[in-house]
Chains A and B, each alone.
Chain A
Amino acid sequence: MTAGHLLAAGQGESTGASVAFWLLAVISVLAGLGMILARRAVHCAVLLAVVMLSLAILYAVAGAPFLAFVQIIVYTGAVLMLFLFVLMIVGVSSKDSLRETIAGQRLAAGVAAIAFLVLLSLVIGHAAIGPAAPAVPRYGVSNLRGIAVLIFTRYVFPFEVTAALLITAALGAMVLAHRERTTPKPTQQELSRQRIAGAHPSPLPGPGVYARHNAVDFPALLPDGSPSALSVSPIIAQRASESEGGLPAPPLPPGNGGSAAAENGKSAGPDDDAGRESAGAAPATTGQAGTEPGEARS
């Protein structure tokens, strides 16, 4: 690509498109690198969303507004949300192990990647990819109409095959993700018996209901003023201890809760006032606690 090409292209394209291209190229490459380097799968998913959104804007810059919207709706909206759903089931905090299972695999992968990059760069450098063709009427406003004409005339058979593919994929997903019930479903009577026979016939205390704070990671205060470890879900307690590297279910002193309430814009009043205020926002968590009657939280 010569400077003449660049000049010719620069005259044809608006500077806004160039600015958008360079900005989004840098953002998408950085996000892609972060995707490889991030250990948590959730971070990878978020960074992939960044890449996909930048690519959507790049499609719009390159004269494909229909594909830009399809990219946002299908990829960022559907595919990535599916990824996040499965990620929530598999485990949000699932991390990659840093242990190499095959010796020298990362080094080999790096060398192969660099070789591949050099190869593709040489191919592109040698191919004479000229400047963009002059804008034809099919581009721009009537982009959607042009694509529709192509899909329903020249590409109508691949389009029908795509429909078959989608139906097959939906059926396959249902078959693969379906799980047969191996034990009979417990009846309501059995559930209530189990609840009465368990350690907690009543619903467990919700987090922070009786304290001055109604966050789910904040333990409720018992009548004697001590925090109740039962009121914090074990998953949240585990995450808190992971992130702080300290105690499970951090039993914070009451003074801490008061300062947090003051940050929320409430005056740090007497205990029972704030407790009544926060009790209104808590029934969701108490309801959740009530659905698992037999399990004692630890």
Chain B
Amino acid sequence: MTPSHFVALAVVLFVIGAVGVLVRRNAMVIFMCVELMLNAVNLAFVAFARQHGNLDGQVIAFFVMVVAAAEVVVGLAILMAIFRARRSASVDEANLLKY
């Protein structure tokens, strides 16, 4: 079990998340898939930190988590606003910039 195993797992999870973003139509699920991609990148950071024997990768992963939390907060608020206006969470419905 070397760091390359961790990186391989991170790659698989990242691709799964990317497929979800491409395929799904529900905005909530798309958000969740973005979170999955961010988690995969965090795993790669941790693996490389382990490989190099220093903690910089872990600190970066920590910052990624903070940024992801902020992104989720704003994204879900936008989703709520869209849902109030259009009564739907589908990304196909939100095809106008106004109304």
Question: What is the interface of chain A, defined by CB distance below 8 A to chain B?
Answer: 1, 5-6, 9-10, 13, 17-18, 21-22, 25, 28-29, 32-33, 35-36, 41, 44-45, 48, 51-52, 55, 58-59, 62-64, 66-67, 70-71, 74-75, 78-79, 82-83, 86-87, 89-91, 94, 96-97, 101, 105-106, 109-110, 112-113, 116-117, 120-121, 124, 129-136, 138-139, 143, 146-147, 150-151, 154-155, 158-159, 162, 165-166, 168-170, 172-177, 179
Contact = CB atoms under 8 A, between A and B. Distances in A.
Interface string B57-98: 011011101111111111011111101100001101000000
A130 B51 contact: yes
A81 to B, nearest CB: 11
Given A79-B72, A147-B55, 14 more contacts: A1-B4, A21-B5, A29-B13, A36-B19, A44-B29, A58-B43, A62-B3, A67-B62, A70-B65, A105-B23, A113-B22, A120-B15, A169-B69, A169-B73
A51 B31 contact: no
17 contacts: A29-B9, A35-B29, A36-B16, A45-B32, A48-B36, A64-B50, A78-B69, A79-B35, A86-B80, A94-B26, A117-B15, A129-B2, A133-B52, A147-B55, A168-B70, A169-B71, A172-B77
Nearest to A167: B70
Contact of A82 (B11, B55, B76): B76
Contacts of B71: 169
Given A32-B36, A35-B32, A71-B65, A17 B53 contact: no
Nearest to A150: B59
B63 A162 contact: yes
B89 A90 contact: yes
B22 A112 contact: yes
B39 A110 contact: no
Interface string B3-46: 11111110111111111101111101101110110010011001
B70 A169 contact: yes
A169 B59 contact: no
A94 B54 CA distance: 45
Instruction: Tell me what chain A mostly uses at the interface: helix, strand, loop, or mixed.
Output: helix
B95 to A, nearest CB: 10
B33 A124 contact: no
B46 A41 contact: no
A52 B75 CA distance: 19
Given A41-B29, A55-B42, A129-B2, A35 B22 contact: no
B55 A132 contact: no
A6 B2 contact: yes
A172 B79 contact: no
Nearest to A15: B1
Contacts of B52: 133
A239 to B, nearest CB: 18
Contact of B62 (A6, A70, A179): A70
Contact of B83 (A17, A25, A48, A89): A89
Contacts of A66: 58, 62
A96 B74 CA distance: 23
A66 B42 CA distance: 13
Given A67-B61, A89-B80, A109-B19, A62 B2 contact: no
